Amino acid sequence: MGKYNMITELRDAKGEKQEVTAEAVGLNRGQLSTIEAGADCKLSQARRIANHFGKSIDYVFSDIRQVLDYEQKVLFVQLYSGDFVKRNSKANCNEMFNLTQVYDKFYGIALCAGSPKDLNLQSLGGSKDDDYVEGVTVVYFEDVGDVKKIVGFITNAVVFRKAVVDSFLNRKWFNLQDNKWEEAPYNIVSMAEDTYCVDNEGLEVYDYALKYPTLTKAFRAHRYFVDNYIAESGVKGEEAEAFKTEVIDLLNLSISRRRI
C-alpha cells in the first residue's frame, strides 16, 4: 500500500491523537506512525483503520487501484453451504471445481437452493431472450464461523442463463448420497488471467450477519445474490449497496497488491 493515505486528515477531523487512534485499531503508536507515513500495512490492519473512521479501504488508502467500480454488475456466489455439502463433503460436490483451472479457463457454478436453476440475466444487464451476459464480476464466498471469506473472484466473466454440462472438461465428482458419479455443470466461464484465487489473502467481511441481516437470509435461501436482485431475494437496497461497496474495496485492494 504505502506512499499516501488519508489517516492524518481523518485523525485531525476526529480530533484524535496518534496514540488514541492506534489503540482503537489494535496497533501501537510506532506501527500506526509508520503506516501513516506511507509504509505498507496488512489487509487486516487497513480494514481496521478504515472501519475506525467509517470509510472504505479505498478511500483511506488512495493509492489502491480502482480497477473495479461500484456501478458494475456483481454476482455474489456462496460456496459449500447447505445440508447436501455437509453430508457429502466439500470434496464431493459441484462447487469443488469453481476455482480449478481447465486449460486456460475456469468453469464455475452458481447454485440456487442447491440446484443449477436458470439464472436471472436481466438482473445482470441482459434481456429475457439472452442466453448469456458478458463482463460480469463474480465473487465466491465461503463461511468460516461468523466470517464471510472471499476465496476467489472474477473480473470479467461470462454468465449463462442455463447450466451447461460438458464431459470433455472431465469435471466428475462422486455423489455419496446417491452413490454415483456425476459431471459438474457450469454457468460461469472466465479466462485464467481474469480469475483470482485468494483463499489465503484474508479478504473477509467481518460481522457479516450483524451488518447485513437481510442479506444473510437471502444467501441461505438462494446461494447466490446479484447486487440489484432485491425484489426476489428480499434484500434491502441500502444493505445490498453497503455490502457491495465493502466487497469491491476488498477486491481492488487484492488486485492492487499484485501490482498488475
Superfamily holding 7-60: lambda repressor-like DNA-binding domains (1.10.260.40)
The answer to whether 241 and 100 are in contact (CB under 8 A) is no
65: cell is 487501484
Q: What type of residue is 170?
A: N
pTM higher than the cut 0.85: no
In the chain, list all ranges with CATH 1.10.260.40.
7-60
With a pLDDT cut of 70, the percent of the chain lying above it is 84
Residue 106, pLDDT > 80, answer yes
Kindly report each contact of residues 181-186 with a partner whose C-beta sits within 8 Å and lies 24 or more positions away, as own/partner.
182/94, 184/94, 184/96, 184/97, 184/109, 185/94, 185/109, 185/116, 186/97, 186/107, 186/108, 186/109, 186/160
Per-residue pLDDT tens digits for 195-207: 999 877 778 887 7
Cα dist from 137 to 108, 140, 150, whole Å: 13, 10, 13
Candidate ranges 34-48, 180-194, 239-253; pick with highest mean pLDDT = 180-194
- The whole-number pLDDT of residue 66 equals 63
Residue 233 pLDDT > 50: no
Q: 54, 22, 20: which is closest to 35 by C-alpha?
A: 22
- Cell 445474490 belongs to 225
Q: Which residue has the higher pLDDT, 255 or 140?
A: 140
Is 80 exceeded by the pLDDT of residue 36?
A: yes
pLDDT band, residue 9 (cuts 50/70/90): confident
Query: How far is the C-alpha of 108 from the C-alpha of 100, rounded, in Å?
Result: 9
Confidence band, pLDDT 50/70/90 cuts, at residue 230: very low
Q: If you average pLDDT over residues 48-52, what whole number do you get?
A: 90
Residue 248 has pLDDT above 60, yes or no: yes
